[in-house]
Amino acid sequence: MQGASSGVGYGLKYQARCISDVKADTDHTSFITGTLSLREENEVHLIRLSSGGTELICEGLFSHPNEIWDLSSCPFDQRIFSTVFSTGESYGAAVWQIPELYGQLNSPQLEKIASLDAHSGKINCILWWPSGRNDKLISIDEENLFLWSLDCSKKAAQVQSKESAGMLHYLSGGAWDPHDVNAVAATCESSVQFWDLRTMNKTNSIDCTHVRNVDYDTKKKHILVTAEDESGIHVWDLRMPKVPIKELPGHAHWTWAISCNPEYDGLILSGGTDSTVNLWLASTSTGDGMTSESLVESPTQLVDPLLNSYSDYEDSVYGLAWSSREPWIFASLSYDGRVRHFKHLS
């Protein structure tokens, strides 16, 4: 189904790169996103899907002082989120809280809970504890990985431990293993490094080429998916890390973003600089008794793993977010500030 175009749109005022599912909002399908303007006052938008699913509604609009390069919603409190931001000269990171009565205020201000100010270099991302209530956060800059303890009531965050990846590695992002909360994957230019948070030691790595993004399969242990510039999408079984168990072609230009569905095994979203979002169904069977939805129609014919290609964009797609409340729904964000919501009907 190449070139499919549908869904509901929402426009931001400025350019943007990041969008997050508001996982803690169990009553609505909600997303939060932020803008990336160098010269204007940036904004954070809290967006909800209408009850009929026909429009995206702005539930809250908040000013944010700097360019937002990374944004993640807290998994246990729908009013808390983190941002990584740039002043144009330096980078910072903070945890914010939306005011409780924001719907009744004319110009509500975000409340800063804590600054994650131990970094000296370029900060790339903030990772929240994968699920449930916990005070742990991870922040990653180009050379270091920090484990934080966050105390929202005292509006403070303390570094619990820190480790350097070394001068030869430039960390760019990462993902927290939902099956093992002591394990984190950190992306570098040409590899993915795996860290044990108990010892802050690197335990393993896999070789990749120009990896841009990484995500764990939330339904199946040991399965990791990487997005790589020209080489597309690789699915890995971390028990056999030498070669990927599946390769998908990715995008016509760089494959930039990847996201595994929170509920349906093998369902993967990817976004790229070809102004396209692709929806894949990739088998992760590894021959050891683990099975996924079969991609085989007959013993001799394989189904195309590309389920759909959404091309109704005018700029690169950097932001992807599945809804954890309605896992057949996802939102995408292109650099020109356009949010698109889609429902995948299997």
Q: Please tell me the predicted confidence (pLDDT) of residue 298.
A: 35
The token pair that represents 244 in the structure block: 């990927």
Inter-residue contact 235 to 215 (CB < 8 Å) = no
The token pair that represents 49 in the structure block: 């899907």
The token pair that represents 50 in the structure block: 């209408």
Q: What is the pTM of this model?
A: 0.89
From the list 1, 3, 35, 29, the residue with the least C-alpha distance to 16 is 35
Inter-residue contact 87 to 64 (CB < 8 Å) = no
How large is the average pLDDT for residues 127-148? 92
> Given strand 42-49, what is the order of strands in its sheet?
16-21, 30-35, 42-49, 56-64
Spell out the residues 6+ positions from residue 274 whose beta carbon is closer than 8 angstroms to its own: 251, 252, 253, 254, 316
258, amino acid identity: I
Owner of token pair 């938008």 = 45
How far apart are alpha carbons 237 and 243 in whole angstroms?
9
| pLDDT band, residue 80 (cuts 50/70/90) | very high
How far apart are alpha carbons 34 and 153 in whole angstroms?
25
pLDDT tens column, 13-57: 999 999 999 999 999 999 999 999 988 889 999 999 998 888 899
Q: Please tell me the predicted confidence (pLDDT) of residue 295.
A: 37
Average pLDDT taken over every residue of the chain: 86
The token pair that represents 22 in the structure block: 């508001």
Task: Give the other-Cβ count within 10 Å of 109's Cβ.
Answer: 12
What are φ and ψ of residue 262, in 5° steps? -70, -10
Owner of token pair 């790169």 = 17
pLDDT tens column, 250-294: 777 888 899 999 999 899 999 988 888 999 998 765 444 334 444
pLDDT tens column, 194-253: 999 999 989 999 988 788 899 999 999 999 999 987 778 999 999 998 899 998 887 778
Beta bridge partners of 258: 270
Owner of token pair 């429009």 = 55
- Please determine, for residue 344, whether its predicted confidence score (pLDDT) is greater than 80: no
The token pair that represents 99 in the structure block: 């005011």
Burial class (CB in 10 A: 0-12, 13-18, 19+), 315: middle
